[in-house]
Amino acid sequence: MARVRTTYRCGACGTATPKWAGRCSGCGAWGALVEGPDTVLGGPTVASGEAAMPVTELDEGGSVARATGIAELDRVLGGGLVPGSVTLLGGEPGIGKSTLLLQVAGSVAARREPVLVASGEESAGQVRRRAERLGALHPCLWVAAEGSVPRLLAHVDELQPALVVVDSVQTLADPEVASAAGSVGQVTACAARLVAEAKARGLAVVMVGHVTKDGALAGPRVLEHVVDTVLSFEGDRHHALRLIRAVKHRFGPTGALGVFEMADEGLRAVPDASGLFLADRQAGVPGSVVVPTIDGSRPLLVEVQALVAPSALGTPRRSAQGVDGGRLALLLAVLERRVGLSFATADVFASAVGGVRLVEPATDLGLALALASSALGRPVPHDVVACGEVGLGGELRQVVHTPRRLTEAARLGFRWAIVPGTAVTGSSGLEVMRADDLAGAVRLCGLLGPLVDGVAHDGWPPTDGGEGRAATPGWALPRSAA
């Protein structure tokens, strides 16, 4: 780490400036500049100075992934951890990062490969107690309550481990760098040092990194550039479900999703995630629609719920949990102008069940139907799934991987799919019904037909062959009950 000169660095994006300022010139964050040594950030993490070679004559350099033994994690990593690679595991406090990594360490140690866990957050005794609970007690698992990089490397020299777990990068410190542990300068310097050591020794390193409230990894963004893989561990702390995905991965595709459940004996794999998401679903309740989403390459069925209730407030409430607030506002406007439902005097709550975050536009149609269903007080038939993007004109647009979504829905016992008119559906086993616009889809769900025994099933399934193309004009449709 050459140049050491005092400078100021932004805690959010890592931009360095020689002078203090209230606002970072790089990312615009206020009050984020902190004093720290001007360590060289990034730089080459591989050996340089070699001659250029044709790609066909290069060997692969032995970067073959080694399974960790935790199947859901191995799937996300495309096989396992690559020797000589550095992985950063980000997640909110209490989500289960330490638990997961101790399970990984225990699993690797059980193969009689030495593993070193450097814990700067918990004492060695605490780690032991946790390992006992997780069934990870094994003589090949070594624990050091260590925050100093040189001493950590001394342990590595002594043990020659196959895997080093650092919990967390924010508690590491290099005495040569003159700033406190957790400061931007320290975190970057320590990470850069670990990356260099991992490459030189062919050692797999996994570091825990905390995330800030808005979900960004704490510390400078440069940390993400330095490491080979960034994993994000998500979920609602109050729910048992945990999702892990690779945000960046130099050894395989990103986007694969691993699903765990937090149990008493640690994290348990959930191979049938869709089934778990839908386990508590009640049939016949207005405002509930199941959407088949694709997370990476894995289809996942998630229930979207909406509640439209009369508001006592001058400015009615709009609350979105697990769905995008901007998207909710857009869909309300489209339902108002293109379908004729009014939400002006109603509080609107929308959520994705199970602590999942739905970001795909493919969930638009499901959410819009849930909103219409709640506003009209009629349930969408329980064996229907809906997927499609909703445009500002109320038109439905097709989304990618529709056949894979529908196949997953068929596997879980759904019978009908409402999709955009142009969607390519393949043969999934579901009865496909097409609508060109949102009003058509609302009609297809039976939300505008007469109620029979309190359920809008009359005329369902529709006898017109499911075309649903003739949308009723907006003025002919009922206003919401609100």
Binding site for ligand TYD (CB under 6 A): 91, 93-99, 130, 133-134, 262, 264-266
User: Parallel, antiparallel, or unpaired for β 346-352 and 298-310?
Assistant: antiparallel
133 binds, among ligand TYD, Mg ion, none (CB under 5 to 8 A by kind): ligand TYD
List the one residue out of 232, 254, 299, 284 whose CA is nearest residue 89. Answer: 232
- Compute the least distance from the CB of residue 126 to ligand TYD, in Å: 10
Task: Please choose which of Mg ion, ligand TYD, none residue 253 contacts, taking the beta carbon within 5 to 8 angstroms, the exact cut-off set by kind.
Answer: none
**Min. distance of Cβ 168 from Mg ion in angstroms?**
7
The residue (of 98 and 183) whose beta carbon lies closer to Mg ion is 98
Residue closer to ligand TYD (CB basis): 264 or 453: 264
Question: CA-based Rg of the chain, rounded to a whole angstrom?
Answer: 26
Residue 299: beta bridge partners? 294
Q: In angstroms, rounded to a whole number, what is the distance separating the alpha carbons of residues 139 and 141?
A: 5
Secondary structure of the chain: what % helix, strand, coil (to 5)?
Answer: 25, 25, 50
150 binds, among Mg ion, ligand TYD, none (CB under 5 to 8 A by kind): none
Give CA–CA dist 276/274, Å, rounded.
5
- For the bound state, the minimum distance from the C-beta of residue 264 to ligand TYD, rounded and expressed in Å, comes to 5
Q: How far is the CB of 209 from ligand TYD (least distance, A)?
A: 11
- For residue 293, the partner it binds in Mg ion, ligand TYD, none, with Cβ less than 5 to 8 A by kind, is none
Which of positions 5-24 make contact with Mg ion (CB under 5 A)? none
Q: How far is the CB of 68 from ligand TYD (least distance, A)?
A: 16
Is the preceding omega at residue 168 within 30 degrees of 0, hence cis? yes
In whole angstroms, the minimum distance from the beta carbon of 217 to ligand TYD comes to 13
Query: In this complex, which beta carbon is closest to Mg ion, that of residue 96 or of residue 340?
Result: 96
User: How many of the other CB atoms lie within 10 Å of CB of 30?
Assistant: 10
Q: Nearest 10 degrees: CA dihedral of 348, 354, 355, 361?
A: -60
Select the binding partner of residue 450 from Mg ion, ligand TYD, none (C-beta < 5 to 8 A, by kind). none
What, of ligand TYD, Mg ion, none, does residue 170 touch, CB below 5 to 8 Å by kind? none
Cβ-based nearer residue to Mg ion, 120 or 394? 120
Distances (CA, A) of 33 to 38, 103, 183, 185, 397: 13, 37, 11, 11, 45
Name the binder of 103 from Mg ion, ligand TYD, none, CB < 5-8 A by kind. Answer: none
What are φ and ψ of residue 214, in 5° steps? -85, 15
Whether 216 and 41 have beta carbons less than 8 Å apart is answered as no
DSSP string for residues in 82-118: PTT-EEEEEE-TTSSHHHHHHHHHHHHHTTT--EEEE
Judged by beta carbon distances under 5 to 8 A according to partner kind, the member of Mg ion, ligand TYD, none in contact with residue 265 is ligand TYD
Q: How far is CA 322 from CA 65, 280, 319, in A?
A: 33, 17, 10
Tokens read off for 22: 């209230």
Q: Please count the residues of this chain forming the interface with Mg ion, following the rule CB under 5 A.
A: 1
Smallest separation, CB 141 to ligand TYD (Å)? 15
130 binds, among ligand TYD, Mg ion, none (CB under 5 to 8 A by kind): ligand TYD
Is 99 a binding residue for Mg ion by CB under 5 A? The answer is: no
Q: Annotate each residue in 59-98 with x if it binds Mg ion (CB under 5 A) or - if it does not, as one string.
A: ---------------------------------------x
Q: How far apart are CA 358 and CA 389, in angstroms?
A: 13
| Smallest distance from ligand TYD to CB 117, Å | 12
d(CA 261, CA 421): 38
Smallest separation (angstroms) from ligand TYD to the CB of 290: 28
Taking the complex as a whole, the smallest distance from the CB of residue 210 to ligand TYD amounts, in Å, to 8
Residue 7 vs 171, nearer CB to ligand TYD: 171
What stretches of 171-285 adopt beta strand conformation (E)?
Answer: 204-210, 229-234, 241-249, 257-263, 266-269
Q: How far apart are CA 158 and CA 177, in angstroms?
A: 24
Q: Which of residues 186-225 bind Mg ion (CB under 5 A)?
A: none
Say which entry of Mg ion, ligand TYD, none residue 93 contacts (CB below 5 to 8 A, set by partner kind).
ligand TYD
Kindly tell me which of 173 and 339 has the beta carbon lying closer to Mg ion.
173
Q: For residues 236 and 389, which CB has a smaller minimum distance to ligand TYD in the complex?
A: 236
**Interface with Mg ion by CB under 5 A: which residues?**
98
